[in-house]
Amino acid sequence: MPGIAPEAIAGGIWQVLHNHIEHEPAQDIAELAPQLVYVALTPFIGPKEAARIARRRTVAAPVVGAPASAVVEGRQPSVSRRI
């Protein structure tokens, strides 16, 4: 794999996130996670393993200052500092 590959992957992911933040509701950004995980991992571990990992369901990290009800219900404020 060329040495520039990690930078290219990071740049592509950054562009997707930047475009989403500019043109889509910020609260929907988590929906991009599986695709971005796949893109980031495929060159290093192959498509099958990257897809398996990208499909995993994860629990969002708690947000500092989030009301307990938001975390329990799976919602988080859009502007806060993550732990």
pLDDT < 70 stretches in the chain = 58-83
| pLDDT tens per residue across span 2-19 | 788 899 999 999 999 999
Domain that holds residue 48: 5-72
Q: What is the pLDDT of residue 80?
A: 44
Q: Give a yes or no: residue 18 inside a domain.
A: yes
Q: What is the pLDDT of residue 79?
A: 46
Q: What is the pLDDT of residue 71?
A: 46
Q: Could you write out the DSSP letters of every residue in 43-82?
A: HHH-HHHHHHHHH---PPPPBTT--HHHHHTT---SS--B
Q: What is the pLDDT of residue 26?
A: 83
CA torsion through residues 24, 26, 30, 33, sign: positive
Q: Give a yes or no: residue 23 inside a domain.
A: yes
Q: What is the pLDDT of residue 72?
A: 46
**In 3D, which of 67, 63, 68 has the Cα closest to residue 80?**
63
Q: Give a yes or no: residue 68 inside a domain.
A: yes
State the Cα angle at 59 between 56 and 46, rounded to 5°.
Answer: 25
Q: What is the pLDDT of residue 27?
A: 85
d(CA 71, CA 23): 26
Q: What is the pLDDT of residue 39?
A: 95
The count of structural domains within the chain is: 1
Q: What is the pLDDT of residue 51?
A: 96
Q: Give a yes or no: residue 26 inside a domain.
A: yes
